[in-house]
Amino acid sequence: MKIYNTLTKEKEEFRPIEPGKVRMYVCGPTVYNLIHIGNARPMIFFDTVRRYMEYKGLKVNYVMNFTDVDDKIIKEAIEEGVEPSVVSERYIKECKKDMEGLQVQPATIHPKATEEISGMQEMIQTLIKKEHAYVAEDGTVYYRTRSFKEYGKLSHRNVDDLRTGNRALQVTGVDQKEDPLDFVLWKPKKEGEPFWKSSWCDGRPGWHIECSVMSKKYLGDEIDIHAGGEDLVFPHHENEIAQSEAANEKPFARYWMHNAFLNIDNKKMSKSLGNFFTVRDISEKYDLQVLRFFMLQAHYRSPLNFSAELMEAAKNSLERIVTATDNLKFLLKHTKAKEITKQETKEIKEAEAYQKQFEEAMEDDFNTADALSSVFELIKYINLHVNEKSSEEFLITLLEEVSTLMNICGIVVEKKEESLDIYVEQLIEERQAARKEKDFKRADEIRDILLEKGIVLEDTREGVKWKKV
RNA sequence: GGCGCCAUAGCCAAGUGGUAAGGCAAAGGUCUGCAACACCUCUAUCACCAGUUCAAAUCUGGUUGGCGCCUCCA
């Protein structure tokens, strides 16, 4: 299994610290609003990584945090006239609902920043003691960036090249940093803001320290994989490395994975451009599995463009896989052949090649686009080799293969058993009778009636197939 | 200004040295009473220029175009 590591800029063979086990941390969202489709990309992709690893028998300890203390949450809370926790709790709940729709499995643990304050204070204290941090006059604690010799190793920047103008100074208003590159570990409260007591001042943690601490607490000083969107490389992840490695005196994460952005009509998604979509928006028009499928069709390190047309295309593509699966189940219900034939045994072997191809793609830095193409090849193979004479075992084996592969992608292709009400069943029977009598006018009439009810009929050799749309 | 990424058919998108996966859309065809599904057929020399090599979409240099980070934005 190879992983592209931002740290080394190379694909490396993945070797977990503890054989058979994976410690993985994914930076989660700040919960001040519904998550947008950009947030969904890392959630979907890294969940797929996790699923593949589990499929390969690795035990994954998967941590995704919720940042629930932050300027934007506070701003939202003030606007609504409620406590910040009301806002954050609400959007954590909504986020989990969206994750469910996207088939993103809950993490092993979802820590919240506000519940980890004491750990953060401890780490800050350690950094102060080791002279990697200092307390300013107003109680703000800063990280002494230049004290960490390897600063810049993740984003591959030279400390001296970093632009030093600095907005942070303007925001703070006071120049109390020793160096413009220093960043905040702890900041004093402002009127009306939530705060925690500390020896430096009543205040709250900076953003970067949260992840260092939550990662340490739930996964240990050294972890296998740390992941997130590419915008987090600098400064967020760079700062996490500086904090964790300075405090723990151990290498922090072995592999750093970053997904590229999702753009809308070739532009960065932003509220000001009016091209902002929440996952909830999409769910009103599509099954969220379509969004998931759409994202997995591209390589995670390439920017991905989103548009209505592309969603339609993704929907149709996925439909092809679902239809084939559906067809297998339909045949399974009608087949009388119990015994698998020699020919079928041979064909199953051939079909297994696609599973192997799928794995090879995933082994190569989780090339989901390539992996999905082998699923399509499998689908074609199935469509060509399956018919009403196929044996039960043959059908089941193929069905399982498709399900297994799609399950790694986090997509459920086997529809739930649905039933029709008696009235509809009677209509279908009536139509069959009409067809037998060659009364096609009546037959088509019935088909149209059902279509209006969202039921599509297909005539096959084995009988009528129906599906709800 | 600094650092970095990308450019493959109408659209999306794999492919990092040996002669272009897959999907969507369109067209023609087979099957079907029709439709749908499925199947078959058809669609590219990989932005441009120069170079390295027996051989390049794939390596090197340049040009053009697009994008990202350097702002607690995934």
A25-50 pLDDT, tens digit per residue, is 999 999 999 999 999 999 999 999 99
Statement: the CB of A326 is under 7 Å from strand B: no
Taking 70 as the threshold, does the pLDDT of residue A168 lie above it? no
Nucleotide nearest to A207 (CA to C1'): B72
- Name which of A46, A57, A58 is nearest A105 in CA terms: A46
Q: Which residues pair with A184 in a beta bridge?
A: A142
d(CA A273, CA A25): 32
Statement: the CB of A159 is under 7 Å from strand B: no
For chain A, the farthest-separated pair of C-alpha atoms sits apart, in whole angstroms, at 93
Average pLDDT score over residue span A334-359: 94
Nucleotide nearest to A168 (CA to C1'): B71
Tens-digit pLDDT profile for residues A291-305: 999 999 999 999 999
**DSSP H stretches of helix in A199-274:** 207-219, 238-248
Q: Which residues pair with A62 in a beta bridge?
A: A24
Output the pLDDT for position A212.
96
What's the distance, CA A370 to chain centroid?
Answer: 18
Tens-digit pLDDT profile for residues A239-294: 999 999 999 999 999 999 999 999 987 788 877 777 889 999 999 999 999 999 99
Q: What percent of chain A has pLDDT over 70?
A: 97
d(CA A210, CA A217): 11
Taking 50 as the threshold, does the pLDDT of residue A193 lie above it? yes
Structure tokens at A46: 């890294």
Average pLDDT score over residue span A331-337: 91
A410 pLDDT tier (thresholds 50, 70, 90): very high
N residues, chain A: 469
Query: Which of the 440-459 residues on chain A come under 7 Å of nucleic strand B at their beta carbon?
Result: 440, 443-444, 447, 456-459
Output the pLDDT for position A162.
76
Q: What is the mean pLDDT of chain A?
A: 92
Output the pLDDT for position A440.
93
User: Which stretch of A30-39, A319-328, A459-468 has the lowest confidence by average pLDDT?
Assistant: A459-468
Query: Which of the 42-71 residues on chain A come under 7 Å of nucleic strand B at their beta carbon?
Result: 42, 70-71
C-alpha distances in Å from residue A361, one per residue of A69, A93, A355, A405, A410: 39, 35, 10, 12, 16
Positions on chain B within 7 A of a protein C-beta: 1-4, 6, 11-15, 21-25, 32-40, 66-74
Nucleotide nearest to A370 (CA to C1'): B14
d(CA A52, CA A42): 15
CA dihedral defined by A166, A168, A170, A174, rounded to 10 degrees? -110
- Name which of A164, A167, A172, A171 is nearest A139 in CA terms: A172
- Assign residue A239 a region (left: φ > 0; alpha: ψ between -120 and 50; beta: otherwise): alpha
Average pLDDT score over residue span A358-372: 96
B1: residue with closest CA to C1': A163
The model carries a pTM of 0.94
A117 in Cβ contact with A205 (< 8 Å): yes
A464 in Cβ contact with A429 (< 8 Å): no
Structure tokens at A289: 């599995």
Cα-Cα-Cα-Cα dihedral sign, residues A24, A152, A115, A219: positive
Statement: the CB of A364 is under 7 Å from strand B: yes
d(CA A204, CA A193): 9
Query: Which of the 383-402 residues on chain A come under 7 Å of nucleic strand B at their beta carbon?
Result: 383-384
**Interface predicted TM-score (ipTM) of this complex, two decimals:** 0.94
Query: Which of the 95-154 residues on chain A come under 7 Å of nucleic strand B at their beta carbon?
Result: none
A420 pLDDT tier (thresholds 50, 70, 90): confident
Taking 60 as the threshold, does the pLDDT of residue A169 lie above it? no
- Assign residue A368 a region (left: φ > 0; alpha: ψ between -120 and 50; beta: otherwise): alpha
Output the pLDDT for position A418.
77
Statement: the CB of A84 is under 7 Å from strand B: no
DSSP A275: -
A453 pLDDT tier (thresholds 50, 70, 90): confident
Cβ-proximal residues to A104 (8 Å cutoff; 6+ apart), any chain: A43, A44, A47, A410
A417 pLDDT tier (thresholds 50, 70, 90): confident
Taking 90 as the threshold, does the pLDDT of residue A338 lie above it? no
Taking 90 as the threshold, does the pLDDT of residue A122 lie above it? yes
Nucleotide nearest to A305 (CA to C1'): B12
Structure tokens at A120: 């953060």
C-alpha distances in Å from residue A298, one per residue of A41, A350, A438: 11, 27, 48
3-class DSSP assignment, residue A22? strand
